[in-house]
Structure 1
C-alpha cells in the first residue's frame, strides 16, 4: 500500500512538472511573437514599445497615445505628422537614395514611364513584370521606361540588401529610398516616385502608376488610350474612377481611416491605386502641392486630394471596363481589350501574358 502511494505521488509530481514546462513554453512563444510583431512597427514607435517591454515599464505611453492609432498589435495606420512635410522649410521632405538611377532619361526621353510599387522581397514578381508587360522594347517605336520604387524595412538584413543591389546592377530599374516600406507609407512612396520623375525625367509624356500584382496590357494602353501619333494630352488623369467614396471607419478594415486623419464625409473623385495613367506634366504640380495636403495613408485617395487642390478632375477611360481593380476572368479577347487586371501571382502573369501574345491576333477589337 505504501509503495502504491509513493508511486501515485511520483506520477503526480512528474505530471505537474510537465504542465509547468508546457506553460513555460507557451509563455515563451507568446513573448517571442509579441517582440516579432513590435519589430514590424515604424521605427520610433517600435523602439519605444520594445524598450518598455524589456524594462517592464508600460506607464510611459504618451508617445503611443499622442501620435498613433492602432488597428491591431502590428499595424499602425495613423500618425499626426505628415512624412512628406519638411517642418523646417514647410516644403517637401527629402529622403536619401539607397539605390538610384539618375541618368535613366538622359538622351532618350520616354513616352511612358511605368512606375511600379512593390516590396523589396518581391523579386519574382519584378522578374515576371520584366518578362511580360514591363518589357521596355515591347511596343515597336515607343520608348517605355520601367522603374520599381522601394523603401527600406525593419528586419531587412545585409544579405537581403546585397541581393537587391545585385538585382539593381543587373537590370538598372530599381529606385530605393531611406523611408520605411510599410502600408502606412504608401502615399509617401508614390509621391517619392513622382518626385524622382519630376527631378530626373520631367519631359516624359505619360506616367502609369501600378502595383506589382497587376496585369497591364501596355500595347492596348499605348495605342488605344495614349496614341503616340497624337500630341500628348495635358492635365489628363484616368483610371478606374472612385466616385462619392467615403472613408471607412471600421477598425477591422485594411482601409480604415480615423476621423483625425480625414474628418470629411467624402473623398474627391480619385482613381483606384491598382492602376492609373496621367500626363507627365502633372507630376511636378502634384509633388509641389503634396506637403500642404492633409496627410492620408491611402495613396490613391491622397493623390485625388492633390488633384482636387490643383483643380484637375480625373476622367473616365474610353471604356468603363478598361481599368479593373479586381481580377478579370480570362479570355483571349477580353484581355486583349483591357488595360489592367488585379491579383496576379508571377506564375499567373507569365502564363496569361504568353497565352495572350499567341492568341490576340484572333480577336477583333470592338472599340
Structure 2
C-alpha cells in the first residue's frame, strides 16, 4: 500500500539499494512527479572529490516547523524551533558513505524517523556530519515548485510535460520547461 508516511522507509530502502545492489558514489532520491536531468546531475557531482561526503539539493536553512495546517508538526513530534539543514524532497543527492551510515543506523535501530522524509534526511546527515564533515551544496536548480530554465530537476510535472521536456532536451539541446498539464 502506498502512503505518504511510508516515504521515510522508502528513502531508507533507496539508500540500502544504492550500496548493496549497485556500486554507486551517490544516491538520488526524487519524487515520481519530478523530471531529472541525469546528465547534469552526474556532471555536477563530478566537481567533488570522490572521498568527500556530499549532500546536494535545494537546501533549507533555519526552517521552522509549521504548527498548523496540512504539514503541521506538534511540539511532541518536534520540540525544537528549527529543523536541521535539509534539502527539499522533490530531488536531492547524498554520497554513498552517508547512505551506508543511514542503513547501518537503521539496522541497529538507532535511526530516528520523522514523518517528513526530507527533514528526516536532514537529521540523518546532521548526525553523520558530527563524525565526518559533509559538504552541503545548495542549488535552486533543484526546482521545488514547477520548472525553471536550466533546471536539474523540475517538480510537479505531468507525464505529458515530462515527454515534452525530454523532447526539448533531445531536439533543441536545452533544458526548457513545458507549461501544459
Into which bin does the TM-score normalised by the smaller protein fall? Answer: 0.7 to 0.9
Q: Matches of residues 314-325 of structure 1 in structure 2 within 5 Å?
A: 315-317=136-138, 320-325=139-144
Distance in 1 (CA, whole Å) between partners of 2:136 and 2:5 is 27
* TM-score, L = length of structure 2: 0.83
- The higher radius of gyration belongs to 1
Higher RCO (Cα < 8 Å, 6 or more apart): 2
Is the Cα contact below 8 Å between 2:86 and 2:122 reproduced in 1?
Answer: yes
Residues 172-230 of structure 1: CA deviation (Å, up to 9, x unaligned): xxxxxxxxx311121111112212333323x311111111101111122222x1228x8
* TM-score, L = length of structure 1: 0.43
Residues 9-38 of structure 1: CA deviation (Å, up to 9, x unaligned): xxxxxxxxxxxxxxxxxxxxxxxxxxxxxx
In the alignment, what sits opposite 1:209? 29
SS in structure 2 opposite 1:316?
A: strand
In the alignment, what sits opposite 2:179? none
2:46 aligned with 1:227: yes
Distance in 1 (CA, whole Å) between partners of 2:92 and 2:84 is 16
Q: Which has the higher helix share?
A: 1
Residues 68-104 of structure 1: CA deviation (Å, up to 9, x unaligned): xxxxxxxxxxxxxxxxxxxxxxxxxxxxxxxxxxxxx
In the alignment, what sits opposite 2:61? 243
RMSD: 2.2
SS in structure 1 opposite 2:29?
A: strand
In the alignment, what sits opposite 1:278? 94
Gaps of 5+ in 1: 1-152, 154-180
**Count of residues in correspondence between the two structures:** 170
Distance in 2 (CA, whole Å) between partners of 1:294 and 1:246 is 19
Residues 321-362 of structure 1: CA deviation (Å, up to 9, x unaligned): 321111125xxxx2xx3211111000110012102221126x
